[in-house]
């Protein structure tokens, strides 16, 4: 799969002069609602119309989608507007119904991606299909699980594949509904450069006022497209009202987004970039040297603790370090979240070095 150039063929076949855009309501609510939104989006840069037919809910009692009747509404919207249709599927029954109603794009949601049995069921139901199939990242930041879901579909003979980055759940209080954890989709891009990657700013942010910012971040990272929830009356939407925007706002968002070049063939650019990359490489080497020296000190601390029979983990000391380094990092222009993740990783490595000394 890593070197399969055919993964990008479906996207190239669309022959777009802009990033791929999938847009439409979180949920199909009524036939009238679906048709109105589709007609408002048909003359924009939208490539596919999306609408939730089945909506997984954590607790019973919430709106779980209109079900199969909504597929007929999408068929009608497709006939009237010419827009291809995209929906989420969570099991083989959903797949069967989607194929019967000629849905063009099927995506696997975050709650389904975490379950290899469910993904395999969907892969078996879609075996050798020429439909476009997209896989959202799992709820938790687990790159192997995300890749595993994509590989199951690939192994079923599905080549029109892509990935959707919708962010990851966290107990931390952040401005996002699901934290982006940008390093994970970047690693996915690095390992599978021919796999189209689509950003989902609606689910990352959970707030319509942040959609533009996160959409731009995705495009800056060379994402192939965006999937954005759009509703004619967002405040009264039956699900996820806070993260949906009107078709008018969506069109304005497209106008304001800045499209980046992958590179430019200019001597001045390449010369300046080469010098800056040398500086980055030197800084990275110094960083690793400093970390290596820090771990040698950690081993000396481990030896002293072993000599005096002292516990490895010292929570008071660790919290003092974390607080101090977080504030220092913020004062140097780093984000609080980055500094905390960095020093948590350094702390875990330090503990591992001490454990080897004490137990070695």
| pLDDT on residue 262 | 65
Of 167, 159, 163, which is closest to residue 146 (Cα–Cα)? Answer: 163
Mean pLDDT of 1-18: 91
248 shares a domain with 117: yes
| pLDDT on residue 209 | 96
346 shares a domain with 314: yes
C-alpha to C-alpha distances, 242 to 26, 245, 346, nearest whole angstrom? 11, 8, 37
177 shares a domain with 286: no
Query: Which CATH number do you get for residue 181?
Result: 3.20.20.70
Q: Is residue 137 part of a domain?
A: yes
CB 262 within 8 A of CB 222: yes
166 shares a domain with 30: yes
| pLDDT on residue 172 | 78
| pLDDT on residue 49 | 98
- Tokens standing for residue 231: 């509703």
Residue ending a domain, among 256, 281, 299, is 256
| pLDDT on residue 26 | 97
Q: Is residue 261 part of a domain?
A: no
251 shares a domain with 277: no
Query: Quick one: residue 228, left, alpha or beta (phi over 0 = left, psi -120 to 50 = alpha)?
Result: beta
271 shares a domain with 223: no
153 shares a domain with 63: yes
Q: Is residue 38 part of a domain?
A: yes
Report how far residue 66's alpha carbon sits from residue 184's, in angstroms, rounded to the nearest whole number: 34
Report the number of distinct structural domains present in the chain.
2
Q: Is residue 56 part of a domain?
A: yes
Helix (H) or strand (E) holding 204: helix 201-205
Report how far residue 339's alpha carbon sits from residue 346's, in angstroms, rounded to the nearest whole number: 10
Per-residue pLDDT tens over the stretch 70-93: 999 999 999 999 999 999 999 999
Of 111, 104, 119, which is closest to residue 155 (Cα–Cα)? Answer: 119
The separation between CA 281 and the C-alpha centre of its own chain, rounded to angstroms, equals 28
Per-residue pLDDT tens over the stretch 256-289: 998 876 667 788 888 888 889 999 999 999 999 9
Model pTM above 0.85? no
| pLDDT on residue 134 | 98
DSSP 138: P
At residue 288, what are phi and psi to the nearest 5 degrees?
-65, -35
| pLDDT on residue 170 | 85
Per-residue pLDDT tens over the stretch 219-234: 999 999 999 999 999 9
311 shares a domain with 177: no
295 shares a domain with 273: yes
The separation between CA 89 and the C-alpha centre of its own chain, rounded to angstroms, equals 18
285 shares a domain with 251: no
% pLDDT > 70, the chain? 99
91 shares a domain with 46: yes
| pLDDT on residue 55 | 85
Q: Is residue 308 part of a domain?
A: yes
Mean pLDDT of all residues belonging to the chain: 94
CB 18 within 8 A of CB 45: yes
CB 114 within 8 A of CB 146: no
| pLDDT on residue 248 | 96
Report how far residue 185's alpha carbon sits from residue 145's, in angstroms, rounded to the nearest whole number: 13
287 shares a domain with 241: no
Q: Is residue 154 part of a domain?
A: yes
Q: Is residue 19 part of a domain?
A: yes
Note down the domain range covering 130.
5-256
| pLDDT on residue 171 | 82
Per-residue pLDDT tens over the stretch 125-176: 999 999 999 999 999 999 999 999 999 999 999 999 999 999 999 887 889 9
How many residues are present in the chain? Answer: 360
Mean pLDDT of 56-67: 83
Lowest mean pLDDT among 51-65, 105-119, 155-169, 180-194: 51-65
């Amino acid at each position: 799969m890593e070197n399969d150039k055919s993964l990008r063929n479906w996207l190239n076949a669309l022959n777009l002069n802009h990033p791929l855009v999938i847009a439409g309501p979180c949920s199909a609510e009524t036939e009238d609602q679906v048709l109105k939104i589709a007609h408002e989006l048909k003359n924009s840069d939208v490539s596919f119309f999306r609408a939730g037919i089945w909506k997984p809910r954590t607790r019973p009692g919430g709106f779980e989608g209109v079900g199969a009747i909504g597929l007929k509404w999408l068929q009608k919207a497709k006939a009237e507007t010419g827009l291809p249709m995209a929906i989420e599927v969570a099991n083989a029954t959903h797949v069967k119904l989607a194929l019967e109603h000629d849905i063009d794009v099927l995506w696997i949601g975050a709650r389904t991606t975490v379950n290899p049995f469910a993904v395999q069921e969907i892969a078996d139901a879609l075996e050798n299909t020429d439909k476009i199939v997209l896989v959202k990242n799992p709820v938790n930041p687990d790159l192997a699980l995300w890749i595993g879901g994509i590989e199951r579909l690939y192994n079923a003979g599905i080549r029109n594949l892509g990935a959707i980055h919708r962010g990851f759940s966290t107990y931390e209080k952040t401005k996002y509904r699901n934290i982006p954890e940008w390093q994970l989709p970047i690693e996915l891009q690095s390992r599978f450069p021919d796999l189209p990657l689509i950003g989902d700013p609606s689910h990352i942010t959970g707030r319509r006022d942040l959609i533009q910012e996160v959409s731009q971040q995705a495009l800056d990272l060379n994402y192939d497209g965006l999937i954005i929830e759009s509703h004619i009356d967002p405040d009264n939407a039956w699900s996820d009202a806070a993260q949906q925007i009107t078709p008018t706002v969506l069109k304005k968002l497209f106008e304001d987004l800045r499209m980046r070049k992958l590179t430019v063939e200019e001597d001045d650019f390449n010369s300046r970039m080469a010098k800056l990359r040398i500086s980055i490489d030197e800084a990275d080497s110094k960083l690793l040297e400093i970390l290596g020296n820090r771990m040698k000190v950690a081993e000396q601390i481990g030896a002293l603790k072993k000599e005096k029979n002292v516990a490895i983990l010292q929570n008071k000391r660790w919290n003092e370090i974390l607080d101090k380094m977080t504030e220092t990092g913020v004062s140097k222009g780093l984000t609080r979240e980055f500094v905390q993740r960095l020093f948590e990783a350094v702390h875990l490595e330090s503990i591992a070095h001490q454990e080897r000394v004490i137990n070695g």
